[in-house]
Amino acid sequence: MAGQSSHILIRNARVVDVFRGEVIEAEVLISGDKIARVGQVEELPEDMQVIDASGKYLAPGFIDSHVHIES
């Protein structure tokens, strides 16, 4: 992540909770390469990059493994 913030806040996302089967409006804080918090983020790190995800869905921890082996 050279040249990028080590903290990213994704705001206004529709967060998919696959364990509860719910979609909630929430913020997701990423610190380094880890999801640090899902929900309301009160204290914002100084070097934060903010992404507005209005109208978008977010599934924390989900990996899109759709591949074509022969490609």
Q: Do β-strands 57-58 and 7-17 pair in parallel, antiparallel, or remain unpaired? A: parallel
Q: Which of 38, 50, 39 is nearest to 4 (CA)?
A: 50
Q: How confident is the model at residue 4 (pLDDT cuts 50, 70, 90)?
A: low
> pLDDT tens, 42-58?
877 778 899 999 999 99
Burial (0-12, 13-18, 19+ Cβ within 10 Å), 37: middle
Measuring CA to CA, how many Å separate 62 from each of 2, 9, 43, 48, 70? Answer: 24, 17, 25, 23, 24
pLDDT of residue 71: 59
Domain ranges, ordered by start, for the chain: 1-39
Give the closest residue to 8 by CA, choosing from 41, 23, 55: 41
